[in-house]
């Protein structure tokens, strides 16, 4: 761990100056307590640094949570081993692609049977919180069970003992994005109304006890739950497709579902604070977690070590080194193919910006994270599904 200032600590051995400066500016906000923590995968983000843990007293910065509220990962360990799988993997990739809408703006044509109770649960939760999600996205029900694009993925992987795992990464989709954007604008409007000077407009905040804060927390928690159920719904569909592919029902040995873009009220250093993790997972002692690498590299099932200086947190992935536009100018389709040798994937140049070389080396990130988590399993992907 490196102490950059009294209010900024870091576990990242790979960290550029722009990222450090962005985090330093965020750490100067008067309600940060006790300090902002940068994870090993930290990199420049919109508003706040991706891969940061931001504890606040009596206020929350909506942009510090991010626009994909509740984004995270889910993994299921099956009873299968590599030897149980059919040789042709393209079939299961295409089955998964048919079962789950991929890419931005794609959604289900109807609400399927497995989604019905989850939609009903979300309807009841929204009613209890006193708001209508359709105000943000009229088709939010059809969004449940959809992947999205960017670094979201679905994978079939093998662990160190050749046991089969199913793994996916997604969040609260369009409805969560619109909820986040609305409250970021509310915070910015209030800052102007009260003549609050900010080092960056995206650091606009909501004050605990205000109606705007209360409304944000209610809708934030709904979106976080939507994201969790979205992953559960997709995982159930993946399980069905894998069961059909292998010809045997999947038996779940364990299921892990965790957020990495979220806010929770927690106690740290003797005070109750709001902890916003923007690209970080909760890593209390013994808590299971998931840290995916980039497309074509390893992912990890981990267990938290409860490091107090990190506010019981750990990285959420590899962390970008190249922006999407820079990656597309730097790398080629052929390099992507080379990186994906041995992995069944949809071979298209749409994924060049997701090439492993655009990210920090995941083994370096995990070495930096050694004080924060211990590795339970190391996963290597054999099937990759993404939206373009």
**The two three-digit tokens of residue 120, written as one number:** 């009903």
46 pLDDT exceeds 90? no
CATH number at residue 147: 3.90.1860.10
47 pLDDT exceeds 80? no
pTM: 0.97
Average pLDDT in the 69-86 region? 98
Q: How confident is the model at residue 165 (pLDDT cuts 50, 70, 90)?
A: very high
- Residue 180 belongs to domain spanning: 2-386
pLDDT at 69: 98
Q: What is the pLDDT of residues 105-117, one digit of tens each?
A: 899 999 999 999 9
pLDDT at 164: 98
pLDDT at 22: 97
Q: What is the pLDDT of residues 308-364, one digit of tens each?
A: 999 999 999 999 999 999 999 999 999 999 999 999 999 999 999 999 999 999 999
78 pLDDT exceeds 80? yes
- Could you check whether the bond before residue 34 is cis, i.e. omega within 30 degrees of 0? yes
Q: How confident is the model at residue 304 (pLDDT cuts 50, 70, 90)?
A: very high
Total domains in the fold of the chain? 1
Q: Exactly one of 35, 43, 183, 316 is catalytic; which is it?
A: 316
Which of these, 255, 236, 290, 234, lies nearest to 78 by C-alpha position?
255
Q: How confident is the model at residue 91 (pLDDT cuts 50, 70, 90)?
A: very high
- Answer yes or no: 316 catalytic: yes
Q: How confident is the model at residue 290 (pLDDT cuts 50, 70, 90)?
A: very high
pLDDT at 28: 96
Q: What percent of the chain has pLDDT over 70?
A: 100
């Amino acid at each position: 761990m490196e102490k950059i200032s009294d209010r900024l600590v870091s576990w990242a051995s790979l960290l550029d100056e722009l990222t450090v400066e962005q985090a330093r500016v965020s750490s100067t906000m008067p309600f940060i307590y006790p300090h902002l923590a940068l994870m090993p995968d930290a990199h420049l983000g919109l508003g706040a640094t991706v891969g940061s843990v931001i504890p606040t007293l009596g206020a929350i910065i909506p942009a510090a949570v991010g626009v994909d509220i509740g984004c995270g990962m889910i993994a299921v360990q099956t009873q299968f081993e590599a030897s149980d799988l059919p040789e042709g993997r393209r079939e299961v990739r295409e089955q998964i692609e048919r079962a789950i809408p991929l890419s931005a703006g794609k959604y289900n044509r109807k609400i399927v049977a497995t989604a019905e109770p989850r939609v009903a649960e979300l309807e009841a939760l929204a009613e209890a919180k006193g708001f209508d999600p359709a105000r943000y996205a009229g088709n939010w029900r059809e969004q449940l069970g959809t992947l999205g694009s960017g670094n979201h993925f679905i994978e079939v992987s093998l662990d160190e003992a050749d046991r089969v795992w199913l793994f996916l990464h997604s969040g609260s989709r369009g409805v969560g994005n619109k909820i986040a954007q609305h409250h970021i604008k509310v915070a910015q409007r209030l800052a102007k109304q009260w003549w609050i000077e900010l080092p960056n407009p995206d650091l606009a905040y909501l004050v605990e006890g205000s109606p705007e804060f209360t409304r944000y927390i209610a809708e934030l928690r709904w979106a976080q739950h939507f994201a969790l159920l979205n992953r559960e719904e997709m995982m159930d569909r993946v399980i069905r497709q894998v069961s059909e592919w292998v010809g045997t029902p999947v038996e779940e040995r364990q299921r892990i579902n965790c957020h990495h873009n979220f806010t929770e009220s927690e106690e740290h250093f003797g005070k109750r604070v709001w902890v916003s993790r923007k690209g970080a997972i909760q890593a209390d002692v013994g808590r299971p977690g998931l840290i995916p690498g980039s497309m074509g590299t390893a992912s990890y099932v981990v267990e938290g070590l409860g490091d107090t200086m990190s506010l019981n947190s750990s990285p959420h992935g590899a962390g970008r080194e190249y922006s999407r536009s820079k990656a597309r100018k730097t790398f080629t389709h052929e390099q992507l193919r080379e990186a994906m040798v041995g992995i069944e994937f949809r071979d298209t140049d749409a994924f060049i910006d997701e090439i492993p070389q655009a990210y920090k080396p995941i083994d370096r990130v995990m070495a930096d994270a050694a004080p924060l988590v211990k590795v339970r399993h190391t996963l290597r992907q054999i099937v990759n599904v993404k939206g373009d």
